[in-house]
Structure 1
Amino acid sequence: MAEFEREMPSYRLAETHAGDTLQRVAAREMGDANRWPELVWINNLTSPYLTDIPAEASTTVLLTGSMIRIPAPTGINTDATERAQVYERDCKMVKRRLTDDGNGDFAVVAGTDNLTQQLKHRIVTPRGQLVRHADYGCLVWLLQGKVAGPTANLLGAQYVKAAVQADYRVSSVISSTAEVDGDATRITATAEAIAGGKVDISNQ
């Protein structure tokens, strides 16, 4: 498909900050620093992309403090193909291991199944562990080794809720609850996805 035939994706606007790079903007606004090339394309930018120096700013180099377009799915889609595009696809993971599709290739997961998988990964990743994604992850690990009880349950439920809500594909968190299960605490959450449908997540 020719470049001029590509459909322009929907977007929202976000303010850039002094000292920003596209990687910082992508990490802050999109949850993934590695998605910075999308910002180049949707904003029609050329190197150095962002600058703090007014004399370097142009129609293809943004001055920090100005607004930048951020790709953002909008609207409510009911078509399965559209949902798969909104929620993206990834390699299927079982117990943190890649799986085979039976034909010698990696198995993939898409749509709400992928969203569910990625939300679970976010919850089990200690927040702050990934250098390039400082805000990625969940603080529920802080409760490891703590005495189970009402306070720990409330904190755990709130930590999971915050982690799930941080994903741009989540419209709202309907519920997040925790209960003691033997010597562990089981936390379950239900989220409403931006393109419709509910996602259930359980963590123990």
Structure 2
Amino acid sequence: MADFIKHALIYGESLQEISQKYLDTPDRWTDLVVINNLKYPFVVWEERTPETPKNVKTIGEIVLVPVEDDTNPLEGLHKFEIDDAYDRLLGEDLSLFEDNELVNLRGDEIGELRATNRGDLKTVKGIANLRQSLVLRLATPLGALLHHPNYGTLLYDYVGDREDYQTQQKIKTEVERTLRSDPRVADIVMNEVSSYRGILTIQVSIAALGIDDIINLGIRLDSEGVIEWG
């Protein structure tokens, strides 16, 4: 039977910090997610209320940390259980777009809620949820959401700007800042970032924390919004 250390969560503390403290590496935070049956955003730095999701930890609650050994927390699980664990790493949200469709967020278009065959609202999880979240982040001008002033991007400031090397570097920096502001993003490779006649073209490969699959994202952005073609 596995042994665990019981760690009480304190304000401002992340799973990566807990992993570093007890397991000598921040990379095993995904083990803590699986062991504690957590879902994104995993921890919230406030006391629990009736509205707090049950699969997150709040201040003062116990996070189980495995005693250091060579045990893989996924060992012995069925494939569907492993897939479910990875889905929890990247979270679940309401689905705004059909699978594999061209996402057009221009003008007043913001996506559309859909129902399942049972009448429930359709959701999206795992990698598909992260992709949707990143597209929405790129489609939102920074400061446009009243209660989330740090959500969104400054890329719209560069639409129609001079198409020179300096502007292109600023665009690359802002693309990376925008995508990395999502805590689930581990690494980004810029495949193409260009500006031509008021249209920004962005192609990036994104690695998510705890997931081996790569997300390839293609975006066209102009003054009216975003088109994403995957």
Distance change >3 Å, CA 175–CA 97, structure 1 → 2? same
Asked whether the 8 Å contact 1:157–1:177 carries over to 2, the reply is no
Distance change >3 Å, CA 40–CA 102, structure 1 → 2? closer
Structure 1: how far apart are the matches of 2:112 and 2:137?
Answer: 17
Deviation by residue 1:94-134 (Cα, 9 ceiling, x = unmatched): 34222424524432111011001101111111112223222
Gaps of 5+ in 2: 1-5, 14-40, 49-57, 64-71, 98-103, 105-109, 221-230
Look up the match of 1:100: 114
Asked whether the 8 Å contact 2:142–2:150 carries over to 1, the reply is yes
TM-score by length of structure 2 reads 0.54
Structure 1: how far apart are the matches of 2:111 and 2:139?
Answer: 14
Identity between Structure 1 and Structure 2 (%): 18
Look up the match of 1:178: 193
Return the offset for 1:198: 1.9
Distance change >3 Å, CA 131–CA 108, structure 1 → 2? same
Structure 1: how far apart are the matches of 2:73 and 2:181?
Answer: 19
Aligned CA-pair RMSD: 3.6
TM-score by length of structure 1 reads 0.60
Matched residues, number: 152
The code of the aligned residue for 2:154 comes to: L
Return the offset for 1:152: 2.8
Correspondent of 2:168 among 144, 153, 178 = 153
Distance change >3 Å, CA 177–CA 130, structure 1 → 2? same
Q: How is 1:1-204 mapped onto 2 (pairs within 5 angstroms)? A: 14=12, 39-41=46-48, 42-44=58-60, 79-94=82-97, 95=104, 96-103=110-117, 104-175=119-190, 177-180=192-195, 184-196=199-211, 197-204=213-220
Q: Residue 132 of structure 1 aligns to a residue in which SS? A: coil
Return the offset for 1:187: 1.0
Gaps of 5+ in 1: 1-7, 16-33, 46-68
Deviation by residue 1:6-46 (Cα, 9 ceiling, x = unmatched): xx89968637xxxxxxxxxxxxxxxxxx999663142139x
